[in-house]
Amino acid sequence: MANPSGEGCLTVAEGGVIVSEDCSRSGTLIELRGARVSGGVGGTLLDRSIVRMIEALRGDALASRAVRWIDVTDPVSVLLGTAAGLRILLGGLSEAPSRLGALAVLYRSLHLEDYEVVDLRFGGEATLVPR
């Protein structure tokens, strides 16, 4: 993630722990935007909801499929982005883990790279905007 100090980036590992101030592998990692942290190396992400969302993302193996960035700048409007340019609207942080489950189902059912936007903000319903 971008370092909140404005200089460089931080690598965040399991449990939201900051493990490095090195960006050398940033091309292979998911970029996290807008998260607050409790310090540098050894610190953590302050919002446990973000940690739960990242763990849900990893648990559904979506991270390895497509997700390249997560934007939590506005906690009531979380966005995901993929390498193919798909934007995924999840709604609020508290709903994000369950909506990631719905996203995983969509990935198994559809070729989502054919879409520009997947809107999951309204629980139980998905709106897809084709390219």
At 106, is the pLDDT very low, low, confident or very high (cuts 50, 70, 90)? confident
> Total structural domains in the chain?
1
Give percent of the chain with pLDDT exceeding 70: 86
The domain that contains 95 carries what CATH number? 3.40.50
Between helices 96-109 and 48-59, what is the axis angle to 10°?
20
Residue 2: inside a domain: no
pTM > 0.75: yes
Q: What's the pLDDT tens digit per position in 3-55?
A: 666 677 778 878 888 887 776 665 667 788 888 888 778 888 778 888 888 88
Q: Determine contact, residues 37/4, Cβ cutoff 8 Å.
A: yes
Residue 3: inside a domain: no
Residue 5: inside a domain: no
Residue 123: inside a domain: yes
Question: Cβ contacts of residue 75 below 8 Å, gap of 6+?
Answer: 47, 49, 92, 93
Q: What's the pLDDT tens digit per position in 73-95?
A: 999 999 999 888 999 999 998 88
Which one has a higher pLDDT value, 100 or 1?
100
Residue 75: inside a domain: yes
Range of the domain at 85: 11-130
